[in-house]
Amino acid sequence: MDSKELWQLSRIVNQVHLSDFSEDDVFILLMLLRRYAKVGGALREFADFLAHREKDRGLIFDYMTEVKNALDRPPPFDGKIEIRPIFTVDDIATEINSILGHEQLVPFSALQMNHLMICIISLLQCTEIWKKDGTSIGQLHVAISSKEIFLIGKIRLVNFGSIYVTFVALTAKNDVLDIVDQDGQAWIQFNGVSWAKTKNNVFAINQYQTTFLG
């Protein structure tokens, strides 16, 4: 890293250790680390997604395309598809802490990495996934349960009366909000815009109804 990048990185790392950061700082963090991340790894995938919100490539794109193609086939479906989180907190923690160690910066703890993942989930809210021909595959949303915070993919199945299905793309531990699980529901989807940040040294994620000026 050049001296300017290292200064910026050191400042953000210090803010995280002081519990004084928001998802905006995590956005800058990922942009700083982007060109040092392994191609095909969690860190590079997230950074690329944030740099180019309307995606037509990458592992999350491939995963959502695979799920849509499998579920959208006329019955009977005779194949297998694994519905699973694409990356884990440990995946991105390993990459980020490796770079921090190389730059002789203090690595993040497991708790801090979980909060960074919640910020990433929030940052990816409303991202649209497109085919190269401009056809929408689906969109990413934030949801929460008593134990986990999710980034969920939502896709439309045209062969089944244009119904929508949702599935998990990313997860983080919910250690920030007390939620009572609803009967028959795996999660509660955020209807407003999510925002993750620390306040008075307490990390939180909230949702807001948007009002646009213009």
Q: Do the domain assignments include residue 214?
A: no
Which residue in 106, 94, 190 sits closest to 141, CA to CA? Answer: 190
Q: Do the domain assignments include residue 76?
A: yes
Distances (CA, A) of 29 to 24, 45, 91, 122, 145: 9, 14, 16, 15, 27
Q: Do the domain assignments include residue 112?
A: yes
* Number of domains making up the chain: 1
pTM of the model: 0.83
> In a structure prediction context, what are the per-residue pLDDT tens digits for the chain, which is 214 residues long?
999 999 999 999 999 999 999 999 999 999 999 999 988 888 998 888 888 766 566 667 777 777 777 666 665 555 455 556 678 889 999 999 999 999 999 999 999 999 999 999 999 998 887 777 777 777 889 999 989 999 888 877 766 656 677 778 789 999 988 877 766 666 788 888 999 998 778 999 988 875 444 3
Phi and psi of 111, rounded to 5°?
A: -65, -45
Domain that holds residue 27: 3-208
Q: Do the domain assignments include residue 213?
A: no
Cis bond upstream, residue 85 (ω within 30): no
Q: Do the domain assignments include residue 124?
A: yes
Q: Do the domain assignments include residue 149?
A: yes
Q: Do the domain assignments include residue 11?
A: yes
